[in-house]
Structure 1
Amino acid sequence: MPSRNNAAAGGSSSKVKYSKLANSDEGYIDLQFKKLPTKVPYKAIALAIILFVIGSLLITIGALLLTGYINSSYSDTTWPVLIIGILVFLPGFYHLRIAYYASRGYRGYSYDDIPDFDD
């Protein structure tokens, strides 16, 4: 293999070896198709669990307020509690579902689909 001095990088005497690529691989190497191991986003899953639990609790309280099982002195708080419960429940449920299916190895589900806080 031919070698060349790397004189442009400050005149050091290190030698870099170059070689031609094979014509049969069309410029691709196997390493670029290798799937990297995915790390589990524990913080995002913990947040999804918290959102799921709080949303479920608010939906339950809102439903009980709406049906009259819980007497409220302020009846105008029923719908906001129910709506906030739904808005908190949905992202928690969505990310927990992705985490569950990814842990079971279902096709099309990966931990990469869950946003991570470490980025």
Structure 2
Amino acid sequence: MMPSRAVLGGGSSNNKVKYSRLAADEDGYIDLQFKRSPPKVPYKAIALATFLFVVGALLIIIGSLLLAKYIKVEHPDRTIPVLIIGVLVFLPGFYHLRIAYYASKGYRGYSYDDIPDFGD
């Protein structure tokens, strides 16, 4: 058989929580709950974006030089993949660095929350 709960009648309360009435002119909100906390800067994500940006730019430059035949190569069919990989690495790095730059300057619509922070 399960134990039953005791129901207390009347106005007596078993807990020790004290309540107070709000003043008639207050709406129940305080200014502190609407204050924004300072932004958390995702340093690891910005470092990764910088790395991707630099590596992608180097691969694009090297691929362009290979395609223009300024660099002699034995297998010229390998120049296009270097360019494609360079573009695929460059674009996310550029995108996240642009967001980080605009967020650091305080532009409206940009924040560090748009950059993934790897769970830091």
TM-score band, normalised by the shorter chain? 0.7 to 0.9
Counterparts in 2 of 1:112 and 1:22: CA distance versus 1, 3 Å: farther
Structure 2: gaps (5+ residues)? 1-11
The offset of 1:38, in angstroms, is: 1.1
User: How many residues of Structure 1 are paired with residues of Structure 2 in the alignment?
Assistant: 108
Instruction: Tell me the distance in 2 between the aligned counterparts of 1:61 and 1:22.
Output: 71
- How does the TM-score come out when normalised to structure 2? 0.79
- How does the TM-score come out when normalised to structure 1? 0.79
Instruction: Tell me the distance in 2 between the aligned counterparts of 1:88 and 1:21.
Output: 57
SS in 1 for 2:17: strand
Structure 2 residue 28 is matched with structure 1 residue 19: no
Other-structure match for 2:14: 5
The offset of 1:48, in angstroms, is: 0.4
Q: Which entry has the higher C-alpha Rg, 1 or 2?
A: 2
Provide the aligned C-alpha RMSD in A. 2.0
Counterparts in 2 of 1:37 and 1:4: CA distance versus 1, 3 Å: farther
Instruction: Tell me the distance in 2 between the aligned counterparts of 1:78 and 1:4.
Output: 80
Pairs within 5 Å for 1:99-114: 99-114=100-115
Pairs within 5 Å for 1:1-119: 4-6=13-15, 15-21=16-22, 25=27, 28-119=29-120
SS in 1 for 2:45: helix
Greater relative CO, 1 or 2 (CA 8 Å, sep 6+): 2
Q: Which has the higher strand share?
A: 1
